[in-house]
């Protein structure tokens, strides 16, 4: 018998025996582990599921977070190749918008729409300081630069509109959060349709100062719709509309206006000189009881005041605190104040950031 074959046969048998022993040991071990797993699974299943979730979904989430990178990179490239003077003018423009208060609250907070008008009567220039005139000149220069670049900063979330009056004494900007405005439009559709005629027509109203708008509806009704888009609550907006309905009524029939409080009296006298005010509807006027309406108008004025949107003490800040029309005791007003206070420090931090312009533009195109 060949000794080599015998040795080979013996080694083969040993290997098979060892493999068999290994399989048996593996089966026993797996059986033991399964028993242990069945025992401890109820205790730790939730943690195990968390680990599985993290292992499977975190890579996908990371990919999702990186979706904003192309926007940021693109903005960095645009700013990198932009002339230094243009970049400085844009930064100056957006710092002035940020300092106006409502702009930053809309861009980083929960306000749906902000209107920022900058006005100067150039015929009365001698009444302004040189600093004021320089500020307005820089604003106009920044607006001109923005016209060159604004097409590069399109957004799915925000719309930034701008306008200048024919005599260049008003430069205006309107920023609004598209999804929030669309939601408000849908919620108050009958009113919005009556005033604007359709959601696609909102922009055509917003790019003009209210004073020069030619409206097909009573001006107080427009104020009511605009107030809702600006983020005011329904109660405050209704008070505002009722107040100006009554002011219009007294303009048409200025009886006993001396009994009104000074602000209401001033508004009515001003309205008598301003032919843009709509006349009061005659069928309402027939039941117009002067003493009752005087009391109602005075009460509305007392419960509808301009309130600062903060519950903190006044501090030195480059950013103007937004105002809210309402009663200081209203829960809605207190809620708005808390909401703004949460982001107030963040806005100041952004204002002083060295990457200010990049932060603003990145948020604008988000």
pLDDT surpasses 50 at 349: yes
Report the pLDDT value the prediction gives residue 72, as an integer from 0 to 100. Answer: 64
For the stretch 133-142, contacts whose Cβ atoms lie closer than 8 Å and that sit 24 or more positions apart, written own/partner, are 135/96, 136/171, 138/89, 138/92, 138/93, 138/96, 139/92, 139/93, 139/96, 139/171, 140/164, 140/168, 140/171, 141/89, 141/92, 142/89, 142/90, 142/92, 142/93, 142/94, 142/96
Residues 6+ apart with CB under 8 A from 101: 319, 320, 321, 322
Greater confidence, 138 or 251?
138
Residues 6+ apart with CB under 8 A from 308: 321, 322, 323, 324, 337
Report the pLDDT value the prediction gives residue 38, as an integer from 0 to 100. Answer: 60
pLDDT surpasses 80 at 280: no
Confidence of residue 168 (pLDDT cuts 50, 70, 90): confident
Secondary-structure percent of the chain, ordered helix, strand, coil, rounded to 5 = 70, 10, 25
* CA proximity to 231, closest of 360, 98, 343, 109: 109
pLDDT surpasses 90 at 327: no
pTM (predicted TM-score): 0.70
Confidence of residue 256 (pLDDT cuts 50, 70, 90): low
Structure tokens at 359: 């932060």
pLDDT surpasses 90 at 2: no
Report the pLDDT value the prediction gives residue 235, as an integer from 0 to 100. Answer: 87
Give dist(CA 319, CA 114) in Å, integer.
Answer: 14
Q: Provide mean pLDDT across the span 15-32.
A: 51
Report the pLDDT value the prediction gives residue 21, as an integer from 0 to 100. Answer: 47
Phi, psi torsion values for 229, nearest 5 degrees: -65, -30
Contact 289, 268 (CB under 8 A): no
Question: Strand 170-177 relative to strand 158-164: parallel, antiparallel, unpaired?
Answer: antiparallel
Q: Could you report the per-residue pLDDT of 109-159, keeping only the tens digit for each?
A: 999 999 998 887 666 655 667 777 788 889 999 999 999 999 999 999 999
DSSP 8-state symbol, 214: -
Which residues lie across from 171 on neighbouring strands?
118, 164
Contact 326, 240 (CB under 8 A): no
pLDDT surpasses 60 at 262: yes
How crowded is residue 121: how many other Cβ atoms within 10 Å of its Cβ? 11
Confidence of residue 19 (pLDDT cuts 50, 70, 90): very low
Give dist(CA 274, CA 280) in Å, integer.
Answer: 14
Mean of the per-residue pLDDT values of the chain: 76
Report the pLDDT value the prediction gives residue 9, as an integer from 0 to 100. Answer: 36
Q: Provide mean pLDDT across the span 51-73.
A: 46
Helix (H) or strand (E) holding 119: strand 113-119
Helix (H, G, I), strand (E, B) or coil at 130: helix
Report the pLDDT value the prediction gives residue 22, as an integer from 0 to 100. Answer: 47
Confidence of residue 24 (pLDDT cuts 50, 70, 90): low
pLDDT surpasses 90 at 183: yes
């Amino acid at each position: 018998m060949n000794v080599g074959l015998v040795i080979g046969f013996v080694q083969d048998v040993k290997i098979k025996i060892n493999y068999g022993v290994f399989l048996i040991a593996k089966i026993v071990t797996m059986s033991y582990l399964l028993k242990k797993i069945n025992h401890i699974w109820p205790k730790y299943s939730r943690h195990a599921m968390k680990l599985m979730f993290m292992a499977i979904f975190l890579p996908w989430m990371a990919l999702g977070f990186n979706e904003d990178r192309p926007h940021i990179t693109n903005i960095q490239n645009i700013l990198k190749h932009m002339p230094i003077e243009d970049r400085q003018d844009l930064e100056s423009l957006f710092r002035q918008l940020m300092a106006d208060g409502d702009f930053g609250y809309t861009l980083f907070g929960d306000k749906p729409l902000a209107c920022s008008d900058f006005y100067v009567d150039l015929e009365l220039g001698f009444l302004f300081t040189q600093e004021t005139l320089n500020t307005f000149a820089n604003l106009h220069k920044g607006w001109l630069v923005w016209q060159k670049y604004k097409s590069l900063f399109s957004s799915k979330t925000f719309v930034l509109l701008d306008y200048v009056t024919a005599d260049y004494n008003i430069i205006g900007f309107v920023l609004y959060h598209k999804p929030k405005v669309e939601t408000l439009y849908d919620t108050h559709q009958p009113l919005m349709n009556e005033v604007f005629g359709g959601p696609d027509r909102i922009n055509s109203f917003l790019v003009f100062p209210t004073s020069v708008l030619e409206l097909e509806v009573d001006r107080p009704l427009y104020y009511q719709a605009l107030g809702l888009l600006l983020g005011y609550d329904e109660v405050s907006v209704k008070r505002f509309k009722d107040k100006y309905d009554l002011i219009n009524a007294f303009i048409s029939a200025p009886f006993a206006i001396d009994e009104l409080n000074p602000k209401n009296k001033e508004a009515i006298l001003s309205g008598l000189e301003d032919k843009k005010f709509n006349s009061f509807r005659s069928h309402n006027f027939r039941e117009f009881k002067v003493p009752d309406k005087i009391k109602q108008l005075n009460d509305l004025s007392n419960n509808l005041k301009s309130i600062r949107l903060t519950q903190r003490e006044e501090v030195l800040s480059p950013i103007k605190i937004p105002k809210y029309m309402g009663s200081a005791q209203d829960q809605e007003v207190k809620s708005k104040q808390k909401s703004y206070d949460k982001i107030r420090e963040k806005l100041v931090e952004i204002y002083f950031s060295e990457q200010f312009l990049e932060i603003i533009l990145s948020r604008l195109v988000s």
